[in-house]
Structure 1
Amino acid sequence: DLADELLLEMVEEDVRGLIEGTCLQNAPILHFSAKADEDCNQTLRAELTRLAQGWLDDVAHDRAQRQARPFAMSVDRCFSRQGRGTVVTGTAMSGSVALEQQLQALPASQLYRVRGLHRHGQAVERFVAPGRVALNLAGVHIDQVPTGTVLCVENSLSVTERFDAEVTLLPHVRAAMASRFRAMVHVGTTQIDAAISRLDGQQWRAGEHAFVQVHLDQPMAVAAGQAIVIRGSQVDPRFGQTLAGGVVLHPQAPRHRLKDSIVLDGLEAVANGDERQQVAAMVALCRQSGADELELARWLCLSPNALTKALKSALAQGHIRRFGQPTRYLSPSAVDSLEDRALQAVKAAHLAHPDRAGLDHLQVCRQVGDWLEPTMVLAVIRGLVRRGELVEDNVLFARPDFVPRRQSARAEVVDALIDVVSAGGLAPAIGNALVSEVQARVAIDSAEFTLATKQAQAQGDLICIKVGFWVDRSHIMAMIRAVFERFIDAPSFSTGELKELLGLTRKHLIPLAEFLDQQKVCNRSAQGDRTFRPSALSAWRGHHDPEVFLSGF
């Protein structure tokens, strides 16, 4: 009654500082007097009742959520009883188990039948978590379910070597610790050496909360929401005091970069958000791989009904999107990234293969990411088709403005090329000069000119002497005939004599002479003179047909 407003405000700030980080952190602060009347006491009782009821409701809700999830239990003792066989005991974390049910032992992934259940020494037909329970398993030796094994419903838990967690460094840890250190991580009834990275990249200080990624030395079964304890010392990470404790947030996390705000915000939402926010954040943490409903059930502390409602809400509000068959969920940012990669893949294919109409769906899926579910990637690409950013024609995807180059030249272009080359005899236009002469007869571009030369060669009308230099086949045959008839009885002939015979300049003569060498008609000596090869002389005398030397054309 004697306290003024300023004193009350100061005391309230002191109390807030004392209860920060405890279960009373958000509790209301009531002002009352030691000489309070009955009305003030009633107010205090009502507020305490409301606070206690809130806690009880939270406990009941958490218990209901755990009971709705699949059964899971960490084995802390395993023994064999005569007439019974193998018996394991432990504290069940969630769900229920009944006689004759099949349970999976992780990380070994073996299935075993439950043929007996005991709770506090009494046989029961069904057990509902949480609590202690003993399971009599059929067809298993005690060595197959050692301490640390997790028994669960098949495919309901993740076996992982990496998970994300929210942890608190205990107040007694005085020295600052590096953002990455090694320690012993205790999960359930087992412990494994691990490297622990603080995801915000900061040094550790006593009492701090932080998000971490734990890299285990061996795979282990981990459940979302499961408590972990970190022990170690700077001398030996396997021994020492308890350093920190926390809970698992993402049991099968991808590798994260340090100081990634998207990852930190996502883990914050998984830790403290409502059910819809948890689903949206977990899907975003999966990046381009996305997640299906079974994976989300393993990675979130939600009952099946709560997960279904959260998925519907997140979809309706556009926080996640659904693709593929079976259905996978992606965040909008992941969809944008996949769409951009698909567009870039199609663009690169157009540049690399301008004569092709596009990429088929398997090629696009491989280019976008061969580790991704193909039906999901295809569904994303078809979204681009619906928006007009890509077109689909006979399962080929292309950009709307893309026109493939001709795969064959027009007949009139091939005819014009052959006419121009034939008119030049053994000395036709070469390179760009040839292109210009053909363009003077018919409108073409360089790509169609290239196609025309390939077609003319394939048809046997033109022979390529060197790059850019084509000669009509009939002129080459006449040249070979003239060379044999003139020099067959001569021991050798010079380049000058060949020039005199053919009446060519060196521009055309040298490539043609080298062509004769390549076709094994002649041999060129060190002095520059040429002689007929014995095999060529024999072939000529036997057939008198230049075609013998053009069999490859």
Structure 2
Amino acid sequence: MRAIIGTAGHIDHGKTALVRALTGIDTDRLPEERDRGISIELGFAYLDLPGGDRAGIVDVPGHERFIRQMLAGAQGFDLLLLIVAADDGVMPQTEEHFEICHLLGVRQAIFVITKTDLVDRERVDEVRAEIEILAAGTGLEDAPVLAVSAHSGDGIDELRREIVERLARAERRAGSGPFRLPVDRASVVKGHGVVVTGTAAGGGVAPGDELTIVPGERLVRVREVQVHERRVESAEAGQRVALNLAGVERGEIRRGDCLVSAGVPAQTSRFDALVEIRPSARKPVRSHQRVRLYLGTSERLGRIVWLDGLRAVEPRSSAYAQIAVDENVVAFVGDRFVLRDETASYTLGGGRVLVARAARHGSSDTVGPMLEKIDGDNPAARVAGFVEATPGLGLAPRDVALELGMAEDDVRSLAAGAPDLCLLPDERAPALVAPADRCRRWKELITDRIGRHHASHPTSPGIELERLANLREVRGDPHGLKVLVETMIAGGELTRRGGRVALPDHRPSVEEGDAELAGRVLEAVRSAGTMPPGLKQMSEEFGVSIRKLAEIVSVLCDRGEVVKVSSDLVFSRPVLDDVESKLRAALAEREKITAAEFRDLIGATRKYCIPLLDFLDRSGVTVRQGDYRRLRSR
């Protein structure tokens, strides 16, 4: 069974003793913990279930000084055991742990009153009432409250039965998507090397898999996988996992790092999220306020920036925000996190990641509607909202699938059927999923820019793609621009001319003052036959720049009057057609021809013959074989 049980509660309320009573395992492993009788570090155990299954148990420390350890362990609970000692009742850390578990999205809980052997029934009823007040108005207000004594064993069997029943109802985490394991413990096991443990947050892992340690880019290989001290062939999201790793030393991985499937984007310096501010914040949380972020097993300092113009958010309220961290953190869509004040003295709130690798938003940007789509239950709307919220034209279907935890085929089919999305260049082989209105806007910008280029440079066959990339809105996404231009060319909205693009109806024309120059160039090329003057020579003879001459030649080429065979040589079209006709006739008789024989055939020098032969090779007329040319077979 893929399930994690977590304990939480105030210091010395009997969490570790309860775990020992349920499992027979003592989770206090440090000498200091045993000497002082309190948990300092995370403890781990497992509970044997009917049918041979095991559920993992994470026992978190209760002292306020160890809240960081508690936050590292509380990620990914399927069932919470909130422990309240009968003699103390609900205490400050009880409330804070409950707040944290609420923020981390825990949906199943059992409230456990411990140490009932120390008090009378009336006191147990008083504590039960305190728990009801604590849970009122939350998603856990209907959770059962059970009274037990780890010392006498009273109520332990009933608690064990309730755990089994609750786990059967628990919502299972998806095992799809990339594997990721927030590391909560790393050690060296004699004879094995580095072993790390954690609760798998997504995907699956097996021996031989390559993983990346993030932050960073270090690759490691999985030697062995264990779940609850048993060697297994694979492990999935929702299981307590131990991995024996190759390719890493003990000092190179620690709690707070994350192991992720190799090649998967995981790091981010800012993410968009829905954030809830809790009563424990005591006062409004201001935009750009410094905060301490707890995500996975990591802890980062950063700032919270409220979106859509909000300046502050009151306790008991929720709003969309961007969290910008000082150091990269691992984040995926749907991840839960907790925010505390900068000094880590109290909890401000927490939330859920909606865009893991977000762009910086301007003060006038309206982001909320897009994030609302991602936050909803409609898969097509989630895809649309996600690509709308990311910079550039769009995203590859694979990237959308990885970020949203969906199958790539599902992303493609959803995009194909959604009127507000488009697949580029087409549905059969999509390179990008993009918002339809953004595609239309980019097309309008591209068409307008090319039209203005044609108006100001009538002799030019078109505009270079690099100059289109300078458009303000498309700047920063050259890949998206290239895909969209290729789509427009395939659809007849643009045409390609050499290394440039143009509107389909554009015909380069000679400017009024250059008509005489164009006539002189054409006459010079025609009259010279198979040995025409080069561009550099004509530039000197006519007293014009090579750039101006190149524009004139480009227009003549587009008209079909001349053909450019090399960077400097231009031939009259009739002359070139005659050369090709003579060559085909000669090769029909002798099958092959040398450069010297070709020179004699057309009556030109080697300076002209070699560029001509290379041009004919590129044009598909001939093929070179050593020192000979043959007709290319069709």
2:398 maps to a residue whose letter is L
Q: State the partner residue of 1:318.
A: 419
Identity of aligned residues (%): 25
Deviation at 1:412, TM superposition (A): 9.8
- 1:246 counterpart = 2:344: no
Q: State the partner residue of 2:381.
A: 277
Unaligned runs of at least 5 residues, structure 2:
1-134, 143-164, 521-537, 545-634
> Out of 220, 228, 241, which is 1:120 matched to?
228
Q: State the partner residue of 2:276.
A: 168
Deviation at 1:393, TM superposition (A): 4.4
- 1:257 counterpart = 2:362: yes
Tell me if the contact between 1:71 and 1:93 (Cα under 8 Å) persists in the aligned partners: yes
Instruction: Report the 3-state secondary structure (helix = DSSP H, G, I; strand = E; otherwise coil) of the residue aligned with 1:172.
Output: helix
Q: State the partner residue of 1:299.
A: 403
Q: State the partner residue of 2:339.
A: 230
Q: How does 1:423-434 map to 2 (within 5 A)?
A: none
Q: State the partner residue of 1:133.
A: 241
Deviation at 1:342, TM superposition (A): 0.9
Q: TM-score, normalised by structure 2?
A: 0.52
2:309 maps to a residue whose letter is G
Tell me if the contact between 2:461 and 2:507 (Cα under 8 Å) persists in the aligned partners: yes
> Out of 435, 448, 461, which is 1:331 matched to?
435
Q: TM-score, normalised by structure 1?
A: 0.59
Instruction: Report the 3-state secondary structure (helix = DSSP H, G, I; strand = E; otherwise coil) of the residue aligned with 1:67.
Output: coil
Sort the Cα spacing of 1:367 and 1:409 in 2 relative to 1 into closer, same or farther, 3 A: same
Deviation at 1:457, TM superposition (A): 9.7
C-alpha distance after superposition, 1:184-243 (max 9, x if no partner): 1111111111111111322210111111111111112212211111010xxxx2332110
Tell me if the contact between 1:158 and 1:298 (Cα under 8 Å) persists in the aligned partners: no
Deviation at 1:387, TM superposition (A): 6.8
Q: How does 1:10-409 map to 2 (within 5 A)?
A: 22=139, 59-60=170-171, 62-63=172-173, 66-202=174-310, 203-232=312-341, 237-258=342-363, 260-261=365-366, 263-302=367-406, 304=407, 307-324=408-425, 327-365=431-469, 367=471, 369=474, 371-374=476-479, 376-384=480-488, 390-394=494-498, 396-399=500-503, 402=506, 404-406=508-510, 409=514
Tell me if the contact between 1:193 and 1:238 (Cα under 8 Å) persists in the aligned partners: no
| Greater Rg by CA | 1
Instruction: Report the 3-state secondary structure (helix = DSSP H, G, I; strand = E; otherwise coil) of the residue aligned with 2:454.
Output: helix
Sort the Cα spacing of 1:189 and 1:98 in 2 relative to 1 into closer, same or farther, 3 A: same
Instruction: Report the 3-state secondary structure (helix = DSSP H, G, I; strand = E; otherwise coil) of the residue aligned with 1:409.
Output: helix
Tell me if the contact between 1:194 and 1:215 (Cα under 8 Å) persists in the aligned partners: yes
Deviation at 1:385, TM superposition (A): 5.3
Instruction: Report the 3-state secondary structure (helix = DSSP H, G, I; strand = E; otherwise coil) of the residue aligned with 2:262.
Output: coil
Deviation at 1:72, TM superposition (A): 0.9
Sort the Cα spacing of 1:102 and 1:458 in 2 relative to 1 into closer, same or farther, 3 A: same
Q: How many residues align?
A: 365
Sort the Cα spacing of 1:135 and 1:405 in 2 relative to 1 into closer, same or farther, 3 A: same
Deviation at 1:20, TM superposition (A): 6.9
Moved over 6 A (4+): 18-21, 53-57, 412-415
Find the aligned partners of 1:192 and 1:84 in 2 and give their Cα distance: 32
Deviates more, 1:347-356 or 1:133-142: 347-356
More helix by share: 1
Instruction: Report the 3-state secondary structure (helix = DSSP H, G, I; strand = E; otherwise coil) of the residue aligned with 2:375.
Output: helix
Sort the Cα spacing of 1:266 and 1:23 in 2 relative to 1 into closer, same or farther, 3 A: farther
Find the aligned partners of 1:388 and 1:114 in 2 and give their Cα distance: 51
Sort the Cα spacing of 1:251 and 1:387 in 2 relative to 1 into closer, same or farther, 3 A: same
CA RMSD across the alignment: 3.4
Find the aligned partners of 1:242 and 1:133 in 2 and give their Cα distance: 29
Q: State the partner residue of 1:10.
A: none
Instruction: Report the 3-state secondary structure (helix = DSSP H, G, I; strand = E; otherwise coil) of the residue aligned with 1:167.
Output: strand
Find the aligned partners of 2:430 and 2:380 in 1 and give their Cα distance: 21
Sort the Cα spacing of 1:401 and 1:68 in 2 relative to 1 into closer, same or farther, 3 A: closer
2:208 maps to a residue whose letter is E
Deviation at 1:396, TM superposition (A): 3.8
Find the aligned partners of 1:123 and 1:391 in 2 and give their Cα distance: 61
Tell me if the contact between 2:304 and 2:322 (Cα under 8 Å) persists in the aligned partners: yes
Sort the Cα spacing of 1:79 and 1:384 in 2 relative to 1 into closer, same or farther, 3 A: closer
Deviation at 1:319, TM superposition (A): 2.4
Find the aligned partners of 2:167 and 2:440 in 1 and give their Cα distance: 42
